[in-house]
Amino acid sequence: MSDAVVTSAKSSDAPLSRLQLALRKPGFLIGAVIIGFSTLLALFPSFFAPYDPNFIDYLAVRQPPSWAHPFGTDMLGRDALSRVIHAYTVNMQMAILATVFALTIGVTIGALVGYYRGVADMIFGRVVDAIITFPFLVLVIAVVAVLGPGLIKMYIAITLVGWVYYARLMRAEVIAQMGNDYASAGIVMGYSDRRIIFRHLLPNAITPVIVYWMTDMALAILLGSSLGYLGLGAQPPHAEWGVLIAEGRNFITTAWWLSLMPGIAIVITGLGFSLIGDGLADLLRPRG
């Protein structure tokens, strides 16, 4: 009997139990299932899609949902379900590619200015102030206006604006960590700056940044599909949720399903990332 008590008490301290703890929370679990399934759809769309997303059938144009076409067909007779499924590849890619470069650049710059402070930090502060003075979408759109529409240019534009938010968070966290004894110990021991920053401060300071990253992935899908809808992101005939909604817009009173269904995919995926983000925030918050 006492053995069982001891092992259970032990396992709650083991690193693995954090994951078990997280999976016991319904929100995190639902989020993980949504994102897991979305990733499968994104990686193997042809396996799940019932038809070729670009197969045009002029004899079956704008058909309402049926057993043969659960989401109906679009203005060219393409199967709407297959197009929504194939869009997972682009939209899930957005969640990664629109955030990962901003994350890397932001974390590096944030850690450096947080560690060295001085003039670089002062300039950094002004740059942050200036960039957050622009509404996010306005600055991204202005950069897209210069670079031209398209997915890759959209990623560049979002990265140019988005790194600031990661850098600001990282800087604050590094400064907070510098107050700890281990940081002073590293300095006293004569470790190189690079070793202190990247081996010691960064792993300790990264938690809130990772939590923000999850939220940002949800935002990236919202932003990417908005740009697609506005005609500045992915370009038709590429299957992307925002583009699909824009294509259905002209038939919205007669073929409402064309715009409705891709939107539901956006909401579910966005919800998945936010739920994981909320779960991680609870999980990684220092206890006690």
The residue ranges that bind other proteins (CB under 8 A) are: 126-127, 129-139, 141-146, 218, 222, 225-226, 229-232, 242, 245, 249, 252-253, 256, 259-260, 263, 266-268, 270-271, 274
Per-residue CA distances from 165 to 109, 177, 209, 214, 283 (Å):
11, 19, 9, 13, 22
For residue 279 the two structure tokens come to 């779960």
Distance CA 241, CA 221 (A): 9
| Min separation Cβ 140 and other proteins, Å | 9
Nearer to other proteins, 32 or 206 (CB): 32
| Min separation Cβ 233 and other proteins, Å | 12
CB 101 within 8 A of CB 155: yes
Nearer to other proteins, 114 or 242 (CB): 242
| Min separation Cβ 94 and other proteins, Å | 12
278: buried, middle or exposed (CB in 10 Å: 19+, 13-18, 0-12)? middle
277: buried, middle or exposed (CB in 10 Å: 19+, 13-18, 0-12)? buried
| Min separation Cβ 232 and other proteins, Å | 7
| Min separation Cβ 229 and other proteins, Å | 5
Nearest to 157 by CA among 167, 168, 142: 142
Nearer to other proteins, 33 or 145 (CB): 145
Nearer to other proteins, 45 or 224 (CB): 224
Nearer to other proteins, 184 or 250 (CB): 250
Nearest to 87 by CA among 215, 214, 217, 228: 228
Measured between its terminal Cα atoms, the distance across the chain in Å is 28
- Does residue 240 come out as left (phi exceeding 0), alpha (psi in the -120 to 50 range) or beta? beta
Nearer to other proteins, 76 or 143 (CB): 143
Distance CA 235, CA 239 (A): 8
| Min separation Cβ 132 and other proteins, Å | 7
Nearer to other proteins, 60 or 260 (CB): 260
| Min separation Cβ 36 and other proteins, Å | 17
